[in-house]
Structure formats: C-alpha cells, structure tokens
C-alpha cells in the first residue's frame, strides 16, 4: 500500500469512525436540470448570465473524481453536480468516486463508450490516468483536466486547478505581515505540511519558504502530517512539545487541521496564531468567531469543479468565455488562493466545504 493510499485510509478512519467507503466504477448519477442537496460550497456556484446563459446545443458531460473521503474532494463532486443542474442544456453522467486507479480508468472508459460530449476528470493519480484521458481525446471527446495534472498535454483540452505555490506565497506573506505588525523579532514559525512526496505539498512549502525569505524570515520547524487529522494531531503535539514558545503556525490543510487544533487545545497553548489551508466552512466560522488561534486560511477553492462544468459546456457548444476576445476556451486556468480573515470571511464563507 502506497503512502498516499495509507493517508486516505487513515483519514477515512478518523473522520468516519472506520466506516468503509465504496469504490466501484459503475455510473451512479445522471443529472439533468436537478441540483443535488446544496452544501455551503454549492451555494456559491455562479448562476449563468449573459449571452452564454441562453440554452443551446445539448451537452452530455461525463464526470469522474476520487472518493469523497476528504471534505475538499466531497465539495468538488457537489459543486460539479450543482453547476450542471444550473443548465437546461446539460446532462451530467457522474461515476462513483474511487481511489482505486484501475476502477477509475474503467469508469472513464465507460463514459467514453457512452460517447459523452465532454469529459471532466479529477484523477486520483494524474500519471496513471493519462493514457485513458488520451484515449478520450483520440476518440474526439475533449477532456477538462481538473486540478491533478495528467503527465501529457495530449491528454486534455483544458486544465483548470489551484495554485499550490501561490497558496504558500500568500500564507507566507500573511504570516510575515502579522508578525511585523506585532513587532516580533526572530519569530518561531512552524509549518505542518501535507504529504511530502506529492508535488503539490512541495510547491506549497516552496512558496511559503520563499515568501518568508523575501521578508527576512524563515521556517523554524516543519513536519508533514499526510493530510490526515490523526497525523495532524500527532505532528502538532510533537511540535508543541519541542517548542515551548511559538509565534505562528501554517497548516497546509483544514481537514488535517482538525487534528492540529485538537493537539493545540489539549496542550492548552494560545500564544501563537495559526493560518489554515483550503478553506473549510468549519475553519471560516472559527475565524469569524475570533476566539481561538485560527486567524486566517488560504483558499484552494473546490468551486473550480463548477467552473470545469461551465468550461465543458462551452467547449461542447463551440463557445468561449463571453468576456474574452479569444474565439476558444483557454487551454489553462489557475484559480487564485485568497487569504480569508475575520474581515472578509462573510464573503468567502459560501465557498467553504
């Protein structure tokens, strides 16, 4: 079992009390004009407006993503379903979420065989799903590559995803700014990272390190917690024990942060402030309350899935984004990692997962 698979298993056990999550490859939903149960992040989906909002050629969109055993992944699927329901000319065929690479490959092949018009794929493993995505492109079915990147540009028409480096940069700038305002000299800055062998984690850490360095600061201690609450608690407990005084903490992931927060409360520590990552509803509400160490979180918006559905529809109808002068949908779109604070939390709370 790989480290990534172990991390997913630990997360499920911590959040679901050991309940098993299904991972089949069968089609489990065909949505047409009927949004699913609305969560906070779904409510933020933009309603179609302008010329592009007018009904046009009917487009069947296939959708495949990993299992919803993490809050962010769950929000990805909900956003996709909700956005598809906004359009009278769109039907969504979604496969059951799975962290089994072979099962996801099989599910995507099923969508190709059904001759959907466009495919939106968030691969569990971008490299492993590249070949089947290329099969789709070769069959004349455009692919929207959502977030985790395929290893070949021949495998997708358009990529849309988050800015991991920018996420680290914005976290670093916020931390540096707050420490400067507080007049802290030689501050102790702690970083709780995700899964170290993932490029996204490396990019987040690189951005954080370089942003701090530009302000004359550096990370005092860094440990990876594998994106699980259980490891988040263990790692943070170790860091708290090793450092009697801390000035700032950046935690890469708000789901992982459940465990980080638990360790902080158990140690009864509050002399520092903490910045989260991704933008969960739970964290945004804590930031609004202003009663704990959480003072900000840096977004990695799951609404990118809603945007992917919109892009798939436009490609299926041979349209482009209405405010662009380009005749075609761009080949790459990167979302912005905004910093959510007490002041702007009401604006971003609808995006929380």
Tell me, what's the pLDDT at 274? 98
Cα→Cα distances 262→90, 144, 237, 268, Å? 43, 38, 9, 10
Question: Average pLDDT, stretch 320-330?
Answer: 90
* Cα dist from 20 to 9, 15, 83, 229, whole Å: 9, 11, 28, 17
Give the pLDDT score at 7: 41
- Spell out the residues 6+ positions from residue 228 whose beta carbon is closer than 8 angstroms to its own: 7, 10, 11, 14, 255, 256, 259
Domain assignments of the chain as residue spans, ordered by start:
3-161+302-319, 164-299
Q: What is the pLDDT of residues 140-156, one digit of tens each?
A: 999 999 999 999 999 99
pLDDT beyond 50 at 263: yes
By the 8 A CB rule, do 194 and 224 touch? yes
CB neighbour class for 334 (10 Å; exposed up to 12, middle 13-18, buried from 19): middle
Q: Dump pLDDT digits (tens) for 299-314.
A: 999 999 999 999 999 9
- Same fold flag, 3-161+302-319 and 164-299: yes
What is the pLDDT of the chain when averaged over all its residues?
88
What are 296's strand-pairing partners? Answer: 275
pLDDT digits (tens, 9 = 90+) for 166-210: 999 999 999 999 999 999 999 999 999 999 988 899 999 999 999
When the candidates are 3.40.50.2300, 3.40.50.11060, 3.40.50.11540, 1.10.1040.10, the CATH number that belongs to 3-161+302-319 is 3.40.50.2300
Which residues have a Cβ under 8 Å from the Cβ of 326 and sit 6 or more positions away? 320
- Would you give the distance in Å from CA 287 to the centre of its chain? 19
Structure token pair of residue 15: 């959040």
Q: What is the pLDDT of residue 26?
A: 41
Question: How high is the pLDDT of residue 32?
Answer: 37
CATH number of the 164-299 domain: 3.40.50.2300
* pLDDT range class, residue 69, cuts 50, 70, 90: confident
CA dihedral 62, 15, 299, 172 (to 10 degrees): -140
Q: Which of 303, 298, 307 is nearest to 345 (CA)?
A: 298
Predicted local confidence at residue 20, as pLDDT: 30
pLDDT at residue 46 tops 90: no
Q: How far is residue 153's CA from residue 134's CA, in Å, rounded to a whole number?
A: 9
pLDDT at 323 over 70: yes
| Structure confidence by residue, pLDDT tens digits, 222-246 | 999 999 999 999 999 999 999 999 9
pTM across the whole model:
0.83
């Amino acid at each position: 079992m790989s480290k990534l698979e172990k991390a997913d298993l630990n997360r499920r056990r911590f959040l679901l009390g050991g309940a098993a999550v299904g991972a089949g490859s069968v089609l489990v939903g065909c949505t047409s004009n009927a949004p699913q149960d609305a969560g906070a992040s779904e409510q933020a989906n933009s309603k179609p407006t302008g010329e592009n909002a007018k009904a046009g050629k009917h487009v069947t969109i296939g959708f495949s993503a990993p299992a919803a055993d993490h809050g962010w992944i769950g929000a990805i699927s909900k956003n996709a379903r909700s956005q598809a329901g906004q359009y009278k000319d769109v039907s969504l065929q979604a496969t059951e979420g799975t962290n089994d690479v072979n099962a996801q490959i099989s599910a995507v092949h099923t969508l190709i065989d059904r001759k959907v018009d466009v495919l939106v794929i968030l691969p569990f493993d971008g490299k492993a799903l590249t070949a089947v995505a290329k099969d789709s492109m070769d069959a004349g079915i455009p692919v929207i590559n959502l977030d985790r990147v395929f290893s070949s540009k021949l495998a997708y028409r358009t990529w849309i995803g988050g800015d991991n480096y920018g996420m680290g940069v914005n976290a670093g700038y916020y931390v540096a700014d707050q420490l400067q305002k507080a007049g802290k000299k030689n501050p102790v800055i702690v970083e709780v990272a995700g899964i170290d062998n993932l490029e996204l984690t490396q990019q987040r850490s690189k951005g954080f390190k370089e942003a701090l360095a530009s302000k004359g600061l550096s990370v005092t201690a860094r440990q990876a917690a594998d994106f699980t609450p259980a490891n988040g608690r263990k790692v943070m407990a170790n860091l708290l024990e090793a450092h009697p005084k801390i000035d700032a903490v950046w935690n890469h992931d708000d789901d992982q942060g459940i465990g980080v927060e638990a360790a902080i409360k158990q140690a009864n520590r509050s002399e520092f402030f903490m910045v989260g990552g991704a933008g969960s509803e739970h964290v945004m509400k804590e930031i609004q309350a202003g009663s704990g160490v959480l003072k900000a979180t840096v977004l990695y918006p799951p609404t990118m899935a809603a945007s992917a559905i919109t892009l798939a529809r436009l490609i299926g109808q041979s349209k482009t984004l209405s405010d662009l002068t380009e005749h075609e949908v761009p080949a790459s779109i990167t979302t912005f990692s905004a910093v959510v604070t007490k002041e702007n939390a009401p604006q971003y709370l609808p995006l929380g997962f």
